[in-house]
């Protein structure tokens, strides 16, 4: 097939859907790969590297006009206008954006949103939420360390001892676990909280302490266990007790990394303005849910401002909304491998499109086909 790789046009997007590494594999499998000039530049993938991998360089129209277009973010209206009806699009297309899906359907695309893949063992190698959350968790801690006016590790010097930073991680999914691991590497003392009791063991295995909030009713327990690996919203009674427990730890923390996201719903408020006020001068909050709070404002903290770093009540709040894009080479490397693995499900050994109807991953990811929104 003719595979097109446009340069991402969304503001702040530095990733690319195909790297020289995966371009070489597509080429070896019999595909033609056309990469828009400069598409990988921000991700340290030079045009020369794509050419050396056997890809052809082209312009935006050349990349968007291909049979199979591989993207990071969903196409803009201008990009959709350059795509051919009947062509296949694979990317992070935002399955909860009904309007966006409608636009792709109207453009006649067969569109696959990789975020919609089931969280099964077979789908792990193409799980873009995990691959990108991993990087987000790492970078969240580095940003915290960047803004924190002290050192992370304990240091014993001739001028006396410096205490290790106290880090509280809220939400222990893939991002939270990598945040714990990275903060631990840097020498911090870490406490972590999550609504799923099952993560306690993982938290402890990384050398952090789990903030326990016991369940008092059966309803609380059922909600905590959730469906499909994601927690369901917890009952207000439990949330109130958790907030109280977390508030105590946050008041003593130097760094808070909040990572609580529920797909298709606003991010829960875990760090209230009162809690921010209780923190020490110079403390740092990195809110991975920035821009995803109620109404698309705030994040896990209502004071978070999307894409800004603000100082409120003496606390620095980092609201970066696209953390993986701040580590573009490795986030692209992992994303490109996710895309490569997904394509193995929809392309046959003769490098032709072959859409199975009985594959749970393909079915789950299919968002639009034949002019219609297909999302389940």
Task: Tell me the catalytic residues.
Answer: 119, 124, 127, 130, 230
Binding mask 163-192 for a copy of itself (x = CB under 8 A): -------------------x--xxx-----
Q: Which of 153, 263, 294, 356 binds a copy of itself (CB under 8 A)?
A: 153
Query: Residue 80: what are its φ and ψ, rounded to 5°?
Result: -55, -40
> Residue 256 corresponds to which tokens in the numbers above?
């808070």
> Residue 50 corresponds to which tokens in the numbers above?
């794509």
CA–CA dist 46, 55 (Å, integer)? 12
Binding mask 97-136 for a copy of itself (x = CB under 8 A): ---------------------------xxxx--xx--xx-
State in Å, rounded, how far the first CA of the chain is from the last one.
28
Q: Give just the sign of the alpha carbon dihedral 185, 188, 192, 198.
A: positive
Which residues partner with 350 through β-bridges? none
Helix (H) or strand (E) holding 5, with range, is strand 2-5
Minimum gap (Å) between residue 120 Cβ and a copy of itself? 11
Closest CB to a copy of itself among residues 178, 269: 178
Binding mask 12-31 for a copy of itself (x = CB under 8 A): --x-----------------
Considering only residues 56 to 95 of the shown chain, the ones binding a copy of itself according to CB under 8 A are none
Under the binding rule (CB under 8 A), the answer on residue 228 touching a copy of itself is no
Q: Which of 334, 343, 365, 366 binds a copy of itself (CB under 8 A)?
A: 334
Q: With H, G, I as helix, E, B as strand and everything else as coil, classify residue 186.
A: coil
Q: Which of 150, 196, 200, 241 binds a copy of itself (CB under 8 A)?
A: 150
**Are 82 and 65 a contacting pair, CB within 8 Å?**
yes
Closest CB to a copy of itself among residues 198, 311: 311
Helices 174-185 and 128-147 meet at what angle, rounded to 10? 40
Minimum gap (Å) between residue 45 Cβ and a copy of itself? 8
Helix (H) or strand (E) holding 170, with range, is strand 166-170
CA–CA dist 178, 172 (Å, integer)? 9
Residues binding a copy of itself (CB under 8 A): 14, 42-46, 49, 124-127, 130-131, 134-135, 138, 142-143, 145-146, 148-151, 153, 155, 157-160, 162, 182, 185-187, 280-282, 314, 327-330, 333-335, 337-338, 341
């Amino acid at each position: 097939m003719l595979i097109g790789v446009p340069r991402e046009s969304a503001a702040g997007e530095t990733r690319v859907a195909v790297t020289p590494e995966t371009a070489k594999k597509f080429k070896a499998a019999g595909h033609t790969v056309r990469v828009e000039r400069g598409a990988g530049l921000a991700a340290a993938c030079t045009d020369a590297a794509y050419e050396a991998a056997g890809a052809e360089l082209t312009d935006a129209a050349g990349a968007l006009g291909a049979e199979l277009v591989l993207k990071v973010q969903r196409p803009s209206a201008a990009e959709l206008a350059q795509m051919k009806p009947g062509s296949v699009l694979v990317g992070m297309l935002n399955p909860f954006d009904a309007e966006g899906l409608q636009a792709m359907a109207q453009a006649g695309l067969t569109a696959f949103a990789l975020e919609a893949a089931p969280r099964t063992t077979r789908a792990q190698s193409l799980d873009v939420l995990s691959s990108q959350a991993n990087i987000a968790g790492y970078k969240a801690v580095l940003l915290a360390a960047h803004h924190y006016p002290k050192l992370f590790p304990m240091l014993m010097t001739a001028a006396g001892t410096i205490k290790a930073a106290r880090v509280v991680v809220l939400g222990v999914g893939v991002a939270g676990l990598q945040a714990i691991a990275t903060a631990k590497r840097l020498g911090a003392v870490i406490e972590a909280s999550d609504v799923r009791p099952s993560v306690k063991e993982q938290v402890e295995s990384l050398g952090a302490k789990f903030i326990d909030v016991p369940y008092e009713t059966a309803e609380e327990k059922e909600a905590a266990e959730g469906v499909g690996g994601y927690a369901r919203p917890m009952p207000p009674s439990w949330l109130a007790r958790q907030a109280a427990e977390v508030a105590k730890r946050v008041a003593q923390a130097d760094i808070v990394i909040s990572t609580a996201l529920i797909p298709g719903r606003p991010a829960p408020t875990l760090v209230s303005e009162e809690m921010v006020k209780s923190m020490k001068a110079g403390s740092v909050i990195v809110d991975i849910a920035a821009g995803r709070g109620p109404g698309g404002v705030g994040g896990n903290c209502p004071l978070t401002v999307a894409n800004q770093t603000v100082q409120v009540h003496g606390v620095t709040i980092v609201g970066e909304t696209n953390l993986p894009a701040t580590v573009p080479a490795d986030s692209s490397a992992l994303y490109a491998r996710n895309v490569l693995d997904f394509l193995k499900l929809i392309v046959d050994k003769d490098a032709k499109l072959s859409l199975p109807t009985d594959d749970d991953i393909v079915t789950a990811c299919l968002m639009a086909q034949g002019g219609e929104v297909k999302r389940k």
